[in-house]
Amino acid sequence: MEAVRKVLYIDGDPEYRAAAEAALNHGVYDCRFCDSAEAGLALIDENAPDVVIVDGSLKDMPGEEMYMRFLTDLRFRSKRDIPFIILTQNGKTDRSHLYSLGFSALLSKPFTTDKLVEFIEDVLVAHQLKMGEVNCWETIREAKDFLERVVESSADAIVTTNTRGLITYVNRAAEDLFACPFEELIGKRASGYMVNGASELLKISALIRKRNKVQNYRSLLLRKNGEQLGVNLSISIMRDSYGKPMGTLCICKEIDNDNFSEYDKNESDRVTAVVETAVAVNHAINNPLVPILGNAQFLLQDERMTDEDVRRRLRVIVKNALRIRDITQKLANIQRPVTKEYLKGTRMLDIEAST
Amino acid sequence: MNGEKNLLFVDDETEILEILVDLFSDEGYRLHTATRASDAMHIMENNPIDFVLSDLKLQDSSGSDFLEKVRESHPDAVRVLTSGYFDVQFGQVKEDAKSGTLYLSKPWDLGTLKNLVELKLG
């Protein structure tokens, strides 16, 4: 069932009022009629119509002035969205002025009652769509404000970087954590604020590539004043609406210095040392593997190489070269070194358990 | 026929360059090699290079800096950065969507490299 729309029609001309009443006074509309601006304002206050039709030339004031009063009177603060249609005399209208004041539509006199009903319906539909859009933007704005307040109120530092590792945003807690103002942090390399610098960032990048996120990663940050600070980092990839990586989101939680024991510092140093070793091993081993693997592959492709025993031995070279490559790649992904006993009294890194 | 296409390989290890030259010598390309970024840049300026493969670690520059200069001066050239430290599986190539640079892990599979050149220059 269609909702009843409340219409207020204000016109000093009794003939127009009677015509409007005949056209509108049926089930679809709940209509009120009056002949002056003051009476109209009182009815708006009392009845809150869905639409107001006001004649431009009322006996107590012009329709334009009545609308201005409506907009500025605090009584109507919650009703300012009500659409107004102004009735004008043909050829005596500054349309752009009236629209700029906020009128939803202009209807020239004389008009037929059919035209009046059509106008009211058009204005109500347009108004409903406009309010939907306004509500949508209002919801977006509120959500944005809310998220900004959440981020700014967070006790933990929040830092975002772009895909090049440059800082793009910090919240207030991050400014406190780094002892550095927002303006100085933006655009700087995130690795510049880590005690172990680029090599640690390289390790974190490898972990993120592998797992999409890093949680509870302990590290040492470098504050502007040179102090070192133990932190717990949770880092994830930020993606745009198409799923393309646009950078990282990092939440840093300061660890109480008493709790960030020497053991943790040593552990962090140990991880960094292993990662640095892994980088060196990757470079030192994978480069010589290129000619080993490449030459073996060449010989296997050579048509003259028909001796099956030689071919079997070449395949063994290729297989084991690839095994070495797999091991060096795993070394680069070590998160926390775990050791196991190799011989009695000698321990070795457990590569599988460490990644 | 690939006679018009020029390939440039940059690596400070000559045995690696030899493998690359052997791989492409019968394919009809014009091959160029360099062990330093400065020599490679000189070759770029004097030859219509279509494809550049560079190691990440060079004697006088990083391979990524070198390829960034190539991107600015020869935007149409295919650029491949190779290193033992990339997290790219054997037999695979990754592309950086932003710069268009391709990443290949060492040691590479000869077939993957050959297919890559044919795909990009074919």
Pairwise CB contact (< 8 Å): B87 & A293: no
pLDDT digits (tens, 9 = 90+) for B4-31: 899 999 999 898 999 999 999 888 999 9
Q: Residue A147, class by beta-carbon neighbours within 10 Å (0-12 exposed, 13-18 middle, 19+ buried)?
A: exposed
Question: Which CATH number is A196's domain given?
Answer: 3.30.450.20
Q: Last residue of some domain: A126, A147, A168?
A: A147
**Can you give the residue range of the structural domain that contains A55?**
5-147
What's the rounded Cα separation, in Å, for the pair A231 and A188?
19
In Å, how far from its chain's centre is CA A148? 10
Q: How many CA atoms lie within 13 A of B85 on its CB side?
A: 19
B contacts of A279 (beta carbons < 8 Å):
85
Say yes or no to pLDDT of B70 above 90. Answer: yes
A90 and A213 together in one domain: no
Given an 8 Å threshold on Cβ–Cβ distance, is A291 in contact with B23? no
| Mean pLDDT to the nearest integer, B44-48 | 94
| pTM beyond cutoff 0.80 | no
Residue B9 confidence (pLDDT): 97
ipTM of this predicted structure: 0.75
Structure tokens of A179? 């002892």
The residue of chain B nearest to residue A278, with distances taken between CA atoms, is B85
pLDDT for residue A54: 95
The confidence score (pLDDT) of residue B1 equals 47
Cβ-defined contact of A332 to B87 (cutoff 8 Å): yes
**Residues B87, A322: C-beta atoms closer than 8 Å:** no
The residue ranges of every structural domain in chain B are 6-121
Q: Sort strands A346-349 and A339-343 into parallel, antiparallel or unpaired.
A: antiparallel
Query: Which chain A residues touch B108 with a CB distance below 8 Å?
Result: 290, 294
Tokens found for residue A113: 């009652």
Number of structural domains (chain A) is 3
The answer to whether A190 touches A166, Cβ cutoff 8 Å, is yes
- With CB atoms and an 8 Å threshold, state whether B90 touches A322: yes
CB contacts, 8 Å: A328 with chain B: 84
The pLDDT tens digits for A22-48 are 888 777 889 999 999 999 999 999 989
- Measured in angstroms, the CA of B28 and the nearest CA of chain A are apart by 18
Whether residue A331 is found in the same domain as residue A213:
no
Give the confidence band of B46 by pLDDT, cuts at 50, 70, 90.
very high
* Whether residues A27 and A125 fall in one domain: yes
* Residue-wise pLDDT tens digits, A282-341: 778 888 888 898 889 889 888 888 888 889 889 889 988 888 888 887 777 776 677 777
State which CATH number among 3.40.50.2300, 3.40.190.290, 3.90.1150.10, 3.40.50.300 fits the domain covering B6-121: 3.40.50.2300
Q: Report residues of chain A scoring pLDDT below 50.
A: 263
The CA distance from B8 to A211, in Å, is 35
Q: Is A183 exposed, middle or buried (0-12, 13-18, 19+ CB in 10 A)?
A: exposed
Q: What is the pLDDT of residue A82?
A: 93
CA distance B27 to A210: 37
Is residue B44 helix, strand or coil? helix
